[in-house]
Chains A and B, each alone.
Chain A
């Protein structure tokens, strides 16, 4: 294993043989962080092929462009306020978020199942709980980056337009809380859908179905309820789709204008809002629980 003594004038390539590793082994928490950062980077195609960067980057741009336009308008026209509330932004662009989630959630978990990489992870120091936490954390963080970046643009723009700093900071803060909750909720639902099948195509379809169809159904029913003067029913119907859940929570507690038909009269107040918050938290915890169950059988 040791190379023979070398004289300066002879240059040779030595096969230095096998070298042992004596450096640090950073263990389980480090491995969990490594999986988290790899998954988060992967959600934007970083560290993967050029092709897989295209869709997430385009969607990220699509999320940010309207914010840039709104900011530009506000700066040029010296408007007294932004054309859109921070809390409304993600609701308006929900389809973009749904497409992003449908593309990236299966990417994150279905690949590991399909190519059977999961058993390799469990042959490392990490446990099931580490895997689920890292994947869930990475998906939620990726969604948070997607939804918070345009809010940041709006906030910086509002300051450039010389709007009131204190007011804008408060609204921006409320917006961040709203998208953080949205990221956790959407991320959980997306991963559960995707983890049920190793087939990426099914995962994409399932996520799109849950996000878009549920919202379509709920808003249609709400429209019917509004048309038939059942204003009270509108706020309870909102419990049945992820987007309207977030809408209800932020209307009740984060000072957001509701997107429900019927406006303020139909929006959940503090009482119904508490139910909304409970349902959102239950869904987040439920997603985590389902993922834990899902991976119980996968080890090796």
Chain B
């Protein structure tokens, strides 16, 4: 789907991409990096809108330097920022964008109705976009990227600004774009946690360099961590310490790291989850001790963890598949 070969992009003062070589196949691929890591620059180059300083890139087997228009006819793009005029309806806007992709008027209308239904917009699609919630706007943005039935969509931070429920819905939708629609997806995010549930493959870049490229199962094995918080009781004045001791005795690996800056950070135990049974074990241990379980949640992994895990190693370019 996408292949780059020592792709570099240098601006007068910054190097946005530094000899990046990637080979991305069909499926859902996450492109993870902190703000300014070069994700958006990468997308611009892939759409043929910004020339690379050196190296080359191919999308769908077409060279980005020479075949930009053909690529853009077959690729969908959802920008990170707002891009919707408030005074037209979703239907009118998406029909117009479909025609801008080269679809004849009748096909544009049919595809618009289909696509808006698939992203979950129904009656409200006839109302002006200005009155939509953030979640609905994100769906319209996704719809305009899918309306011309591309072979590949590039989604730039599609979960930005969404609440947790909206986030999960959007991620589910992205998953369906591949599993049901058969459209490959390149999705960027600065949160590794949300991508590992959605993507088949994750590419991590930092400072324009490839940090890591592997299938998501590898990430999950390393980083599944549970955050557990319990109450104190009369018999156990320090519930956290008691539970720590009990879990350690049961053979569970506990992380010593304390999360900074969170309320009650000192009372949160970080438990490494080996599998389903760890959840049961924690629940049973807490119950046996007679403590109240305030929370037990999968911690959202931050990109920084990959840096911590990989930081000591030499940065190496691992070809994807």
Contacts and interface: CB of A to CB of B under 8 A. Distances in A.
A123 B103 contact: no
The listed residue with most B CB atoms (<10 A of its CB), out of A48, A52, A115, A116, is: A115
B40 A300 contact: yes
Contact of B49 (A25, A112, A299): A299
Contact of A115 (B84, B104, B182): B84
A31 B181 CA distance: 25
Contacts of B96: 34, 38
A21 B111 contact: yes
A18 B118 contact: yes
Contact of A20 (B50, B79, B118, B149): B149
User: Looking at chain B, what size class is its interface with the partner chain?
Assistant: 35 or more
User: Looking at chain A, what size class is its interface with the partner chain?
Assistant: 35 or more
B112 to A, nearest CB: 11
Interface string A206-223: 000000000000000000
Contact of B44 (A17, A111, A116, A300): A300
A300 B79 CA distance: 8
B124 interface: no
B97 A124 contact: yes
A124 B88 CA distance: 20
B100 A25 contact: no
Nearest to A30: B102
Interface stretch (B69-77, B199-207, B278-286): B69-77
B87 interface: yes
A28 interface: yes
A20 B182 CA distance: 9
A171 interface: no
Interface in B72-95: 72-73, 75-77, 79, 81-88, 92
A34 B83 contact: no
Contacts of A255: none
User: DSSP class of A's interface residues: helix, strand, loop or mixed?
Assistant: loop
A127 B47 contact: no
The listed residue with most B CB atoms (<10 A of its CB), out of A17, A31, A52, A127, is: A31
Contacts of A27: 69, 73, 102
B128 interface: yes
B114 interface: yes
Contacts of B182: 18, 20
B181 A18 contact: yes
Contacts of B167: none
Contacts of B180: 17-18
B84 to A, nearest CB: 6
B189 interface: no
B83 A117 contact: yes
A52 B102 contact: no
A112 B82 CA distance: 11
A48 to B, nearest CB: 6
Nearest to B76: A123
A74 B7 CA distance: 73
B99 interface: yes
B213 interface: no
B91 to A, nearest CB: 11
B94 to A, nearest CB: 11
Contacts of B111: 21
A48 B73 CA distance: 27
B72 A124 contact: yes
Interface in B211-225: none
Nearest to B101: A124
Contacts of A35: 100
Interface string A67-101: 00000000000000000000000000000000000
Contact of B107 (A23, A111, A115, A299): A23
A49 interface: yes
A126 interface: yes
B148 A21 contact: yes
A34 B70 CA distance: 18
Contacts of A38: 96, 99
A253 interface: no
A26 B118 contact: no
A47 interface: yes
A121 B207 CA distance: 29
Contacts of A120: 77, 79, 83, 97, 144
Nearest to B84: A115
A125 B149 contact: no
20 contacts: A21-B148, A23-B104, A30-B99, A30-B102, A31-B100, A48-B87, A115-B82, A115-B84, A116-B79, A116-B81, A116-B82, A116-B83, A117-B83, A117-B84, A119-B81, A123-B76, A124-B72, A125-B70, A125-B102, A300-B79
Given A31-B100, A31-B102, A299-B50, 4 more contacts: A115-B84, A115-B85, A120-B144, A125-B102
In the A-B complex, the 5 residue pairs with the smallest Cβ-Cβ separation, listed nearest first, are: A21-B149, A123-B77, A34-B99, A25-B102, A18-B181
Interface of A: 17-21, 23-28, 30-31, 34-35, 38, 47-49, 52, 111-112, 115-117, 119-127, 299-300
